[in-house]
Amino acid sequence: MFKHYTMNQVILPLDLEMKLKENDIAFAVNDLVESIPSEAFEKFLRQTGRPAYHPRMMLKIILCGYTQSVFSGRKIEALLEDSVRMMWLAQGEVPSYRTINRFRSNPLIENLLRECFVQFRNQLVEKELIEEEAIFIDGTKIEANANKFTFVWRKSVERYSDQLIEKSDQLYDELLKKEIIPAIERENEEELFVEELEEVVEKLDEKVEAYDEQIEACEAGSERKKIRSERKLPKQARKQFMDFITRKQKYQKDMEIFGDRNSYSKTDLDATFMRMKDDYMKNGQLKAGYNVQLATEGQYALAYDVFPNPTDTRTLKPFLDTIEEKYFRLPELIVADAGYGSEQNYEDIIEGRNRTPLITYNQYRKEKKKKHKENAFHVDNWEYNEKEDSFQCPNGRKVWFSHHSNRTDRYGFTRQFKVYECEDCSGCPLRDLCTKAKDGNNRKVYINEKWESQKEYVRKKLSDEKTGEIYGKRKIDVEPVFGFLKANLGFTRFSVRGKEKVKNELGFAFMAVNLRKYIAKQPIPPIDNKNDSNKNGSDYQKPIIGTIVFVIGWLCPSLSSLLFRCCHFLWNDIFIKLFFCQQSKFNCCFFQCRILFKRRLCNLSCIFITNIRI
């Protein structure tokens, strides 16, 4: 026996929502987007031109596409014609891939996505799925939409630029020496700027034109030949100076694009070359990418940002600023790995934001090891005399305070050190083991008191049972989100170019991860084959019920209306849909009623003939 199957039956349009499972991801997408206030969509409103697709609908279909690991505009368009959930979300509309791509790269989307994240977090808090106690921060690198051979290196540009300055100066001096051009007014004796190079070209132009006129006026062949050979040098110099101008302008533009970076990609100017973890060739090749920073709790992505610098240390401060400014108030505890542990970051969190950093530092694990604790030459293990402000070295000599020293890094952050120097290292039998200082010099020790006190503070917090346990959650909170993003969702490379567009795409991807996670955590509805009308067992009942109600509806519309009213009184959770459809000879009014009663779905359908067409 086969299940009921016929191709010749007339099918009336059905509400696609009925086809979806109760815990389908489309409902989560719909609920999330519907929770965004209407004001957030007002900026998309245009008074002129053809009415646009509703931004709510566009946002829903792109988000739903991303949850299905579909990131391409064309494939999302194809899904709109294939997937029931996409058809339902779009309510039958099929925007083209161009519209989809234009919408997702619209600068206004950033705010919309931010609103999505804020609303989603509110929902999580409401349902007590996250505790607002700590935030877990980590970063990952994601490949840009650019070829790995499109690099431009700062060092190369600087080197070529220096060579150009040298060459242009030399040639200019030569032209002056040979009195081909008069001296020009220079801003700087070391370098010829673009305007000055242009002035030189003008002068050379005049010189070449003068030679041209002389050649035309001269009739003797030998004389013309002589002038032509004299014209050769200014003509060649003019060509070279024109090349200098083009190259100098290009180098200036390159330096503007670099900003603080050391490289950029010619395809995606905002992408920086960095070392990726997935180095399949094992040759340490750098790839164009972005450093993605993420804040999570309960394995949900709550805030994100994109940075060009490959190391995490300098991204923490601006990222926390972004969270506070755009997403939510920072919780009490900020948890991150040792990559973020720096004096500047500790200072910012403790003093600037009045929060607690649960962030280790580079030497944290090493310091706990026996080897470190037993290393007699490490200053941590030396005896300190507070009264004298001195240490005692393994050779029993005094290491006195010498002077204060400041170090400013290339980003402008200054650290203060106390410098201690051993009274006399000469003739010490332990010298080779203790110091690499040149002969005649004593060992010097640099102590950063602020850094030491910050480290002590962090050690204390991490050894505390409660905060230590929260720090222990770091690996199982933020790391899996990157795993879901890359391995489950398959999002390993951006499909758009430029930082702003990349940010938008990342927002869609992280929200897709969130929604999938959210749906996976929802309780699965019980399976009841006997009574669930959506199941196969009811396939035979549907046409029978449909036919009966059809006949009732045809013969007595008021009876059907009464039936619906009764249902409405009996059960609150009732959905009634109304469709109009045109068959060949009839205009029909088609009612669909979906009743949720004690988690069992009952479907009722009814048709009224509104008029017969002649």
Binding site for ligand SF4 (CB under 6 A): 393-395, 397, 422, 425, 428, 430-431, 434-435, 443
Closer to ligand SF4 by Cβ: residue 29 or 393? 393
Closer to ligand SF4 by Cβ: residue 247 or 444? 444
d(CA 515, CA 25): 7
Closer to ligand SF4 by Cβ: residue 397 or 418? 397
Instruction: Kindly report the backbone phi and psi dihedral angles of residue 103, in degrees, each rounded to the nearest multiple of 5, phi listed first.
Output: -65, -45
Closer to ligand SF4 by Cβ: residue 396 or 412? 396
Instruction: Give residue for tokens 């905060």.
Output: 467
Closer to ligand SF4 by Cβ: residue 394 or 480? 394
Closer to ligand SF4 by Cβ: residue 356 or 435? 435
Instruction: Give residue for tokens 């755009």.
Output: 326
Find the helix packing angle between 499-521 and 109-126, rounded to 10°. Answer: 20
Please state the closest distance from residue 385 (CB atom) to ligand SF4, in A. 15
Please state the closest distance from residue 394 (CB atom) to ligand SF4, in A. 5
Closer to ligand SF4 by Cβ: residue 419 or 596? 419
Please state the closest distance from residue 369 (CB atom) to ligand SF4, in A. 22
Sign of CA pseudo-dihedral 603, 609, 613, 614: positive
Please state the closest distance from residue 172 (CB atom) to ligand SF4, in A. 57
d(CA 471, CA 527): 40
- 132: amino acid identity, one letter: E
In a 3-state reduction of DSSP, which class is residue 334? strand
CB 244 within 8 A of CB 164: yes
Please state the closest distance from residue 452 (CB atom) to ligand SF4, in A. 20
Please state the closest distance from residue 377 (CB atom) to ligand SF4, in A. 7
Please state the closest distance from residue 430 (CB atom) to ligand SF4, in A. 4
Instruction: Give residue for tokens 């909170």.
Output: 477
CB 94 within 8 A of CB 294: no
Please state the closest distance from residue 420 (CB atom) to ligand SF4, in A. 10
Q: Token digits for 598? A: 């004690």
CB 89 within 8 A of CB 30: yes
d(CA 430, CA 371): 18
Closer to ligand SF4 by Cβ: residue 78 or 437? 437
Closer to ligand SF4 by Cβ: residue 372 or 397? 397
d(CA 13, CA 513): 33
Query: In the Cβ-directed half-sphere of 473, how many Cα atoms lie within 13 Å?
Result: 20
Q: Which residues pair with 601 in a beta bridge?
A: 596
Cα–Cα nearest to 341, from 454, 265, 201: 454
Distances (CA, A) of 590 to 12, 42, 557: 8, 34, 12
Please state the closest distance from residue 379 (CB atom) to ligand SF4, in A. 10
Please state the closest distance from residue 445 (CB atom) to ligand SF4, in A. 8
Closer to ligand SF4 by Cβ: residue 75 or 397? 397
d(CA 394, CA 582): 98
DSSP state for residue 526 in the 8-state scheme: P
